[in-house]
Structure 1
Amino acid sequence: MTVATPPGLVPESSTIHGCLVGCGDAKADEARPAAELYTSQYFQKKRAFAEKLVPQYWILSAEHGVVDPATEIEPYDTRVGGNDFDRQAFLSTVADDMASLTDDDRDPTRLIVLTGEDYLTALIDALARADTGPGEIKLVTPFRHGSFEGIGDQMSYLNAALEAGDQTLPVADALDHSPDHHQVTLG
């Protein structure tokens, strides 16, 4: 299936402040900055989207929570939902990490989330626990807005967005109106 570039850009009133990129199973054999640790084509495409189209990004890691791309980390095998996954520890870590991403002077903080369903569900659970003070976080989940039937469709979408050079989200005008748009208001 070909994913068409949707009409319109993210409305100016819905500025994107950053992106959360899901980690990947394929990793380098030694410690590296997080942006270089994950080696799959899928991760690299999400990383390229984030580096080119948003002001800043972080990696959502099952082992480390929300990680700055420059932070050096060792390879690991933890996976959200895996046998060795400590959900409570992950939720606590991510809640703390996400609280640090809000800005009291900017309402709300909007983040594009490029993750699989397991990671997105865990992220939403973590946000429900986060103490962001008066801040608010809204998640923009483009992979939920289209007719994506898997990673191939998601990569086609990412390719189209990169080629266009814009944050062309599948339902750009529905950021605050779609029932599939995840908005978590904290504070």
Structure 2
Amino acid sequence: MGLVSCVKTKRDQPARPRDLYTSTYFEKMRAYAEREHDEWWILSAKHGLLDPDGDLIEPYEKTLTSASVAKRREWASEAVDQMQEMGVLRGDETLVFHAGKAYYEELLLLLEDFPDADVAIPTEGLAIGERVAWYSDRL
């Protein structure tokens, strides 16, 4: 199951979550997630876990990249609650993060409480340009 982070660049009008984010980086993560995962979700700094085909949402200006550790921990706690509610933490799949460290670091600590939750981060340790290249090489 793919977990794709939101990005700063967005449309200027409401859109379905899959279509709201417009950067090349997001488009590559999305294309990879759609091809490689049966199911994928968006990790939104404002909304937590978003169904890519969910209701229209308004553009927003919020990121975890510059958020304090306390804010990222609070966000991660809410996101894990949403994952449980939406059945993402079934235990029969690997959670594959397509995101920067700000979007998975605190989540990983909370996921330790779910021993059946396997995690993979294929671009871990790569800088943003290297992550874009990683996806480009695989699409």
Q: TM-score, normalised to structure 1's length?
A: 0.64
* Corresponding position of 1:161: 138
| 1:24 and 2:24 correspond | no
Which residue does 1:166 correspond to in 2?
Answer: none
Asked if structure 2 preserves the Cα contact closer than 8 Å seen for 1:98 and 1:127, the reply is: no
The one-letter code of the counterpart of 1:97 is Q
Count of matched residue positions in the alignment of Structure 1 and Structure 2: 135
Partner in structure 1 of residue 40 of structure 2: 57
Distance 1:64 1:97 in 2: 10
Contiguous gaps of at least 5 residues in structure 2: none
1:127 has 2:111 as partner: yes
Q: Where in structure 1 are there 5+ consecutive unaligned residues? A: 1-17, 163-187
The structure with the larger Rg is 1
- TM normalised by structure 2 equals 0.84
CA shift digits 1:30-78 (9 cap, x unpaired): 1110111011000000000001111110000111111110122111111
Per the alignment, residue 138 of structure 1 pairs with 118
Report what 1:78 is aligned to: 62
Runs of 4 or more above 4 Å deviation: none
Contact 2:97 2:119 in 1 (8 A): yes
The structure with the largest helix share of the pair is: 2
Aligned-CA RMSD value: 2.3
Identity %: 31
- In structure 2, how many angstroms separate the alpha carbons of the residues matched to 1:144 and 1:24? 17
Partner of 2:89: 102
